[in-house]
């Protein structure tokens, strides 16, 4: 979809993760998992489970009624003085945002952390248009200073230690920075204060869009979200079409789920509700509604629930694979289990076909997900799409693997063919057999034996069974 | 507005043509905090302290004057900005601050001037005891900037502001063009998941109940 995207090689990516990044990731996710568990305990597990079920059902209601809620949202935003834009894809969304900036001669833009902004590579487009876009969430600010990418949906600087950040601040900002979170935070506060006041435009994503009133809901902790959506004369929010919810009672449910799942807080420091324009706020409010493949996901009955996601990041924190490879191995904006199901559907299995296999299917993600997305089932469905293709994706697995799986399907379906195969294999294995093992097989079976030996084909189970039955035992 | 609207909505329609439509579930309500007003205010204050806010229960105008004097002294307040709503005018916050030699900046002043304020004073229209959350509705008299730019934010609420649960709080703000829920001072845990208080918003949140 984007000119910069190439095939994501998960195996290679996961082998090149620096050990210090892994250590920081594991330390931070462990804390996050514990804090979440405490918050759930404090609220009461029984009520928490009620909330999760309600969260799942109301989100599924929302996305299976998008045809109703999207037009309602649009008319309410316009009635409240806002402007609504519709973007087919990433390129289109970038054009819309750059054009709004140009109309207002904006050259300095402050941004609220948004995964969708990473998805559409908005910062690159703004830079190419001569616009300075500054990330203002502390984690994103650190990542941007380092010229890196976020490694986690809600905690972009998850892969850094305080020592690294202190060194980074010293190098890039020329200040004396002790490796203490509070001192480092104070440095960022001072540096960014002037930028907030000078910004000519603010850009945000959105946690939810309430159709009932046309309201954008933004959940933040640092206050940067409020700065970016209050101080500049123009506010542009770029939000995926799946973020719509029917009404404010639904918002109440999701707000109870979100912060506890993300940071283990009962509620975030700030929840901002923005409905069109207001006296004393930005003169213009633009809402850019982005498709970029979401309607295609909606069409796939087996994968539709991917769109329920509220981007809390809890699935990444709990995931044993994420904890072994870090967020960058997932190769694109979305990491962790949700990235493994979202990326292949948004950018295609041809580019991200590795990702559905980047899981042990242990199911921890589905157990922790606040809106109960059946991630393991969707992973399996996507593996099927990668290997055999379906009406949404052409198969991307190598031809030999495709032929192999089809031959396997056939052999398992016809008992005489299966019997014949086992006999042939007993002889075919002879050149590779070393004792009871097959230590090295030719391609493509060497993908197995390069990791571990394969046990030699031995007794014939069917013949053994027949003998057992006839001997009357 | 633009030509992509209809194609996107058409794709949505296509995708949902044969889809099983989920009905709207019955939504669970939050556990209530029991007890009388006194206990509920105490619960609110405990929740605010839990998220690093500072609280105080004020019973009269004289106590309020005394509390303000202590706050101005402790936080070295030289400049302040105050919501211009009726509630705060009635209790006379502006006069009290002036008597304490605090320079008052209008909330309609330039944002650079407001950024120099040490203290912003607001009321809280709606309060949720369970989490110590304040709901601030933005109006021309209740500028958002007052609770955002100054280093210290003081919010004063009356017992009548207390609500039963988050859903009820939201029904009180849904008809406004802008509102913000505030729970504690601004914070981050972006560096090694270690809590740091005071990022871009106020570094200090004081919440006082005014139980006249």
Answer yes or no: do B27 and A54 touch at CB < 8 A: yes
Answer yes or no: do A268 and B183 touch at CB < 8 A: yes
Answer yes or no: do A227 and B115 touch at CB < 8 A: no
DSSP string, A396-440: -S-HHHHHHHHHHHHHHH-HHHHHHHHHHHHHHTGGG-BTTEE--
- The DSSP bridge partners found for residue B179 are A273, B137
> What is the structure's pLDDT at A1?
41
Answer yes or no: do B182 and A270 touch at CB < 8 A: yes
> What is the structure's pLDDT at A275?
98
CB atoms inside a 10 Å sphere around CB A24: 23
Residue ranges and CATH numbers for the domains of chain A are 10-295 (3.40.50.10420), 399-470 (no CATH)
Q: What is the ipTM of this complex?
A: 0.97
Of the candidates A363, A367, A354, which has an alpha carbon nearest to the alpha carbon of residue A325? A354
Contact call for residues A66 and B23 (beta carbons, < 8 A): no
Distance CA A415, CA A417 (A): 5
> What is the structure's pLDDT at B125?
87
Tens of pLDDT, residue by residue over B12-36, are 999 999 899 999 999 999 888 778 9
Taking the C-alpha atoms of A353, A359, A363 and A369 in order, what is their torsion angle to the nearest 10 degrees?
Answer: -60
Contact call for residues B103 and B78 (beta carbons, < 8 A): yes
Distance CA B124, CA B135 (A): 6
Q: What is the pTM of this model?
A: 0.91
Query: Between B5, B178, B200, which is nearest A275 by CB?
Result: B178
- Residue of A23, A28, A93, A267 best to disrupt the B interface, most CBs of B under 10 A: A267
- Tens place of pLDDT per residue across chain A (473 aa): 445 678 999 999 999 888 888 888 898 899 999 999 999 999 999 999 999 999 999 999 999 999 999 999 999 999 999 999 999 999 999 999 999 999 999 999 999 999 999 999 999 999 999 999 999 999 999 999 999 888 887 888 888 889 999 999 999 999 999 999 999 999 999 999 999 999 999 999 999 999 999 999 999 999 999 999 999 999 999 999 999 999 999 999 999 999 999 999 999 999 999 999 999 899 999 999 999 999 999 999 999 999 999 999 999 999 999 999 999 999 999 999 999 999 999 999 999 999 999 999 999 999 999 999 999 999 999 999 998 888 888 888 778 778 888 888 898 899 899 888 888 888 889 999 998 899 998 887 888 888 888 888 877 777 788 888 777 65
Contact call for residues B41 and B132 (beta carbons, < 8 A): no
What is the interface size between A and B, counted as CB pairs within 8 Å? 253
E strands present in chain B: 54-58, 79-82, 103-104, 119-123, 126-128, 133-137, 152-157, 178-182, 187-188, 196-197, 204-210
Residue ranges and CATH numbers for the domains of chain B are 33-186+198-210 (3.40.50.10420)
Closest chain A C-alpha to B202 CA, distance in angstroms: 8
10-residue stretch averages of pLDDT, chain B, 212 residues long: 86 94 95 87 97 97 97 97 96 96 96 96 96 96 96 97 96 95 94 89 96 90
- Residue of B128, B134, B188, B201 best to disrupt the A interface, most CBs of A under 10 A: B188
Closest chain B C-alpha to A113 CA, distance in angstroms: 12
- Residue A94 belongs to what H/E stretch? helix A90-103
| Residues in chain B within 8 Å Cβ distance of A248 | 167, 170-171, 174
> What is the structure's pLDDT at A169?
95
């Amino acid at each position: 979809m984007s000119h910069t995207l190439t095939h994501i090689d998960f195996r290679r990516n996961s082998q090149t993760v620096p050990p210090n990044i892994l250590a920081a990731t594991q330390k931070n996710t462990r804390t996050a998992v514990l804090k979440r568990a405490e918050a759930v305990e404090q609220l009461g597990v029984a009520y928490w489970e009620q909330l999760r079920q309600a969260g799942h059902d109301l989100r599924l209601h929302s996305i299976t009624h998008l045809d109703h809620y999207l037009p309602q949202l649009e008319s309410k935003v316009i009635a409240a003085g806002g402007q609504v834009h519709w973007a087919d894809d990433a390129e289109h969304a970038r054009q819309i945002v750059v054009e709004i900036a140009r109309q207002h001669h904006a050259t300095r833009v402050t941004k609220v952390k948004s995964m969708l902004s990473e998805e559409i590579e908005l910062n690159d487009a703004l830079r190419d248009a001569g616009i300075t876009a500054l990330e203002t969430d502390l984690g994103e600010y650190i990542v941007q200073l380092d010229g890196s990418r976020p490694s986690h949906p809600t905690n972009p600087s998850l892969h850094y230690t305080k020592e690294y950040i202190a060194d980074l601040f010293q190098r890039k900002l020329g200040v004396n920075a002790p490796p203490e979170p509070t001192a480092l935070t104070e440095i960022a506060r001072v540096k960014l204060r002037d930028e907030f006041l000078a910004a000519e435009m603010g850009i945000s994503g959105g946690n939810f869009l309430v159709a009932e009133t046309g309201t954008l809901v933004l959940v933040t902790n640092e206050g940067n979200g409020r700065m970016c959506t209050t101080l500049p004369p123009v506010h542009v929010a770029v939000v995926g079409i799946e973020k719509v919810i029917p009404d404010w009672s639904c918002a109440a449910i999701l707000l109870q789920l979100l912060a506890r799942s993300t940071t283990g807080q009962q509620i975030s420091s700030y929840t901002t509700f923005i409905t069109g324009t207001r006296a004393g706020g930005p003169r213009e409010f633009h809402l850019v509604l982005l498709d970029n493949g979401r309607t295609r996901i909606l069409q796939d009955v087996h994968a539709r629930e991917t769109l329920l996601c509220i981007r809390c990041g809890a699935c990444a924190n709990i995931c044993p694979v994420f904890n072994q490879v870090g967020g960058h191995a997932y190769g694109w904006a979305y990491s962790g289990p949700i990235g493994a199901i979202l990326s292949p559907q948004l950018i295609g299995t041809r580019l991200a076909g590795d990702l559905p296999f980047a899981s042990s299917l242990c199911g921890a993600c589905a157990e922790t997900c606040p809106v109960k997305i059946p991630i393991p089932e969707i992973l399996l469905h996507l593996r099927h799409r990668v290997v055999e293709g379906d009406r949404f994706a052409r198969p991307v697995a190598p031809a030999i693997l495709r032929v192999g799986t089809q031959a396997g399907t056939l052999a398992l379906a016809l008992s005489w063919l299966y019997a014949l195969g086992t006999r042939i294999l007993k002889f075919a294995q002879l050149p590779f057999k070393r004792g009871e093992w097959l230590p090295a097989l030719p391609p493509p079976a060497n993908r197995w034996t390069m990791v571990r030996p394969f046990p030699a084909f031995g007794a014939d189970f069917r013949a053994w069974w027949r003998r057992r039955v006839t001997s009357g035992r | 507005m633009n030509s992509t609207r209809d194609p996107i909505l058409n794709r949505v329609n296509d995708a949902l043509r044969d889809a099983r439509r989920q009905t709207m579930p019955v939504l669970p309500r939050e556990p209530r905090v029991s007890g009388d007003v006194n206990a509920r205010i105490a619960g609110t204050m405990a929740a605010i302290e839990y998220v690093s806010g500072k609280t105080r229960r004020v019973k009269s105008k004289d106590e309020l004057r005394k509390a303000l004097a202590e706050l101005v002294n402790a936080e070295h307040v030289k400049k302040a900005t105050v919501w211009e709503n009726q509630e705060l005018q009635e209790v006379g916050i502006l006069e009290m601050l002036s008597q304490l030699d605090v320079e008052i900046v209008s909330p309609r002043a330039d944002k650079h001037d407001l950024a120099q304020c040490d203290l912003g004073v607001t009321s809280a229209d709606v309060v949720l005891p369970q989490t110590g959350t304040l709901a601030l509705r933005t109006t021309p008299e209740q500028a958002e900037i007052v609770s955002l730019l100054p280093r210290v934010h003081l919010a004063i609420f009356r017992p009548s502001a207390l609500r039963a649960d988050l859903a009820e709080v939201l029904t009180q703000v849904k008809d406004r063009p802008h509102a913000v829920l505030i729970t504690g001072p601004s914070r981050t845990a972006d560096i090694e998941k270690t809590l740091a208080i005071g990022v871009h918003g106020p570094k200090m949140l004081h919440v006082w109940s005014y139980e006249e």
